[in-house]
Structure 1
Amino acid sequence: MASDDCSKDLYAVENRTDSGIDSYRSIVKSEEPREPGADLSGPREKFSAGEERLDSAYGSSSITGDSLSELVRTCSLSSGREESTLSSELCEQEENFLTTITEEGDTFLHLAIIHEDEFITQHLIELFPKEVLDIQNNLYQSPLHLATYLNLIDVVKKLVEKGASLELQDQDGNTALHVACQHGQTECANEMTRDVSPSKLAPVLETQNWRGLACLHLAALNRQHPIMKLLIKKGADLNIQEGTSGKTALHLAVELHDIKSVKLLLSRGANVDAAMFNGCTPLHLAVGRQDAPIANLLCQSGADTMLRNMEDETALDLADGNDDILALFPFDDIQISGRSVVVVKF
């Protein structure tokens, strides 16, 4: 079965790698652009990543930053200007150079970004059409993914302005915005969301990676409070559930004992009684983790102390004799094993 899966992945890569290049070549030759041979923005087969690395070209490519610069500058550079720029009229040799894809699936735009040569990168972005900007390497990383990893804010801005797709997912299922949320690249996230219409941004905010995490989940998991505020401002669903256990960002913040995130989410209207797939609310998690300050905050925000999970437990059942936790619950009713006993008066 494993070999079948590998074959499917190989087939997907073979059908992807040169589709954007073909489109580019047709544009250079003043022909009508051809439809890409593969859908670059469609869903990827979910497979877990190996060791995370920025790009395989780091370890295996013989191209260095200096040699890349030298190679690019051998292309037609217009003279007579204070700053040389890449000529838009390319000879066939130059065209082949600029449309080269390495064995790792990288275009020269990928490599220029990896080597953080912003001069060359900016010119390649100007030169390449959108189809080439969205080519993904063998790790399914687009140039926008790499620019975000490296926190190249101006490059991210230029790519977004040129129309680079925000919806492409890498081998972990992460969009470039996921990457920004995970690594705290606040300015990159800002550039990716600044001038994007809500209708175009909504699918990105709802996209889950292969672990079932949306952007807001990743921001909460990594305590990226400025990015959380940005996502909320841009319309992220506060109560979106991650795909494995149904936790919301509030559940994740409670698990991390991150009271700052808890306060932020509650102040923006997060559902204090949101239930996981097993019925646990944030209060269940706070009490189960013996976190009296967060449990108190949830109670003050109106958390229902009598909600039961699928194990038929209320939050009080999980208090385990913690006096600070028990003090948060009213004892107006008689309770036996956490269950209220109704006293009927005659």
Structure 2
Amino acid sequence: MSRDGCGKDDLLEDNRTDSGIDSYRSILKSEEPREPSTDFSGPRDKLSATGEERLDSAYASSSLTVESLSDIVGVCSLSSPREEQEEEEDSREEECGQDDNPLTIITEDGDTILHLAIIHEEERIAQRLIEIFPKEVLDIQNNLYQSPLHLATYLNLTEVVKGLVEKGASLQLQDHDGNTALHVACQHGQTQCVSHMTQNVSPSKLAPVLETQNWRGLTCLHLAALNRQHQIMKLLMKMDAELNIQEGTSGKTALHLAVEMHDITSVKLLLSKGASVDAAMFNGCTPLHLAVGRQDATIANLLCQSGADMMLRNMEDETALDLADGNDDILALFPFDDIQISGRSVVGVNF
């Protein structure tokens, strides 16, 4: 999805003026949600679509290298009440610098030290930072709108994901593709991450995530269906994911997508859980239209056995039978005998 007037330069300038952290004594609230920029000039990290290694110029300038992460976490931490730890805090200020605590630095790519620990798959350090940081810092998004939870999910760091969720990291944040961390897990088949993000989470917090569509109009269930992630589909259904929600481009439900994928397992699963067999796309096509149009007699038969209405017409005024194109296996599914529909002869069927 595009947004005028939100280029990369504007995005970087915003991040410089409000890093999300003031000093190690006080943590500011993360910035207000913003529409994603359409100017993402190629892959900048190892988690991009091309999988290229991230070249982060801010590593050197901020002295935040993988070698120094452990030392930084070991020496510095967020301050405690002065009345309880005044001497200890003074010592830390000498080590870290009152206004230069590395824990509070954000790189030119918008990454906090927690982002960097996760990117480098330093799980022990990441877990320690999760303990140290308040929730507001856990939800800071980098210039690609990736939160630490997004990155941990991309890399399938299941224990880090668990730690972030238990600490209260937001499940609703969307990255530059409009994906929540749960979208990412569903797309890539990371079942354990999905489990951590759906179990022991209140329905009020989970429901909006399950209904969220990315910038391609896809929900978590849509992505799971598109990628044949049957176990994840079961988990989402257990969490009462809406089965008949339409994706935003053509109005397909998860059942339409499963039919298009010729995925009979997903079709059976969705039908068994109550997915609408006659749900219509924006152009009026039902799952049966798609199955017949793709000459998939097996799935067409399954839909018919589940009560699909064979006489529904799409916006082209076509029934599913009109799309059979002489396929005898498909035609045998329709209980017509030597009659005409729309002025066309229908092959007689012997029962």
Alignment TM-score > 0.5, same fold = yes
| Change in 2 beyond 3 A, CA 1:43/1:315 | farther
What is the rounded CA distance, in whole Å, between the counterparts of 2:182 and 2:151 in structure 1? Answer: 11
Q: Hey, what does 1:322 align to over in structure 2? A: 327
What is the rounded CA distance, in whole Å, between the counterparts of 2:89 and 2:331 in structure 1? Answer: 72
AA in 1 matched with 2:283 = N
Q: Hey, what does 1:72 align to over in structure 2? A: 73
Gaps of 5+ in 2: 79-87, 347-351
Contact preservation (8 Å) 2:243, 2:270: yes
**Aligned-pair identity (%):** 72
| Residue 97 of structure 2 is aligned to residue 93 of structure 1 | yes
Q: Hey, what does 1:344 align to over in structure 2? A: none
What is the rounded CA distance, in whole Å, between the counterparts of 1:267 and 1:241 in structure 2? Answer: 19
Matched residues, number:
321
Greater alpha carbon shift after TM alignment, 66-75 vs 133-142: 66-75
| Change in 2 beyond 3 A, CA 1:74/1:46 | closer
Structure 2 counterpart SS, 1:290: coil
| Change in 2 beyond 3 A, CA 1:338/1:290 | farther
| Change in 2 beyond 3 A, CA 1:138/1:250 | same
What is the rounded CA distance, in whole Å, between the counterparts of 1:48 and 1:203 in structure 2? Answer: 28
Quote the offset at 1:45 in angstroms: 3.6
Q: Hey, what does 1:59 align to over in structure 2? A: 55
| Residue 245 of structure 2 is aligned to residue 252 of structure 1 | no
AA in 2 matched with 1:328 = L
| Residue 4 of structure 2 is aligned to residue 5 of structure 1 | yes
Quote the offset at 1:12 in angstroms: 4.6
Quote the offset at 1:129 in angstroms: 1.0
| Residue 194 of structure 2 is aligned to residue 189 of structure 1 | yes
What is the rounded CA distance, in whole Å, between the counterparts of 1:212 and 1:340 in structure 2? Answer: 40
Deviations 1:265-318 (A, max 9, x none): 000000000000000000000000000000000000000000000000000000
Quote the offset at 1:64 in angstroms: 4.6
Q: Hey, what does 2:84 align to over in structure 1? A: none
What is the rounded CA distance, in whole Å, between the counterparts of 2:71 and 2:28 in structure 1? Answer: 31
Q: Hey, what does 2:215 align to over in structure 1? A: 210
Deviations 1:141-196 (A, max 9, x none): 00000000111111011101111110100000000000000111110011011111
Structure 2 counterpart SS, 1:15: helix
Q: Could you tell me the TM-score, scaled by structure 2's length?
A: 0.83
Taking the TM superposition and a 5 Å limit, the aligned residue runs for 1:232-271 are: 232-271=237-276
| Change in 2 beyond 3 A, CA 1:47/1:234 | farther
Taking the TM superposition and a 5 Å limit, the aligned residue runs for 1:105-120 are: 105-120=110-125
Taking the TM superposition and a 5 Å limit, the aligned residue runs for 1:279-290 are: 279-290=284-295
Structure 1 residue corresponding to 2:176, chosen from 171, 183, 188: 171
Structure 1 counterpart SS, 2:4: helix
What is the rounded CA distance, in whole Å, between the counterparts of 2:89 and 2:273 in structure 1? Answer: 49
| Change in 2 beyond 3 A, CA 1:76/1:98 | closer
Structure 1 residue corresponding to 2:130, chosen from 116, 119, 125: 125
Q: Hey, what does 1:15 align to over in structure 2? A: 14
Q: Hey, what does 2:83 align to over in structure 1? A: none
Q: Hey, what does 1:44 align to over in structure 2? A: 35
Deviations 1:34-57 (A, max 9, x none): 554x31xx3634748655851698
Contact preservation (8 Å) 2:297, 2:330: yes
What is the rounded CA distance, in whole Å, between the counterparts of 1:34 and 1:149 in structure 2? Answer: 27
| Residue 304 of structure 2 is aligned to residue 304 of structure 1 | no
Quote the offset at 1:93 in angstroms: 2.0
Contact preservation (8 Å) 1:48, 1:210: no
Structure 1 counterpart SS, 2:340: strand
| Residue 347 of structure 2 is aligned to residue 334 of structure 1 | no
What is the rounded CA distance, in whole Å, between the counterparts of 1:238 and 1:53 in structure 2? Answer: 34
AA in 1 matched with 2:135 = K
What is the rounded CA distance, in whole Å, between the counterparts of 1:338 and 1:315 in structure 2? Answer: 15
| Residue 235 of structure 2 is aligned to residue 230 of structure 1 | yes
What is the rounded CA distance, in whole Å, between the counterparts of 1:136 and 1:57 in structure 2? Answer: 20
Quote the offset at 1:210 in angstroms: 0.3
Quote the offset at 1:253 in angstroms: 0.3
Contact preservation (8 Å) 2:295, 2:327: yes
What is the rounded CA distance, in whole Å, between the counterparts of 1:279 and 1:8 in structure 2? Answer: 38
AA in 1 matched with 2:256 = H
| Residue 130 of structure 2 is aligned to residue 137 of structure 1 | no
Deviations 1:297-341 (A, max 9, x none): 000000000000000000000000000000000114722447799
Deviations 1:83-119 (A, max 9, x none): xxxx888525276210111111111100000111111
RMSD over aligned CA atoms reads 2.7
Contact preservation (8 Å) 1:44, 1:173: no
What is the rounded CA distance, in whole Å, between the counterparts of 1:172 and 1:111 in structure 2? Answer: 21
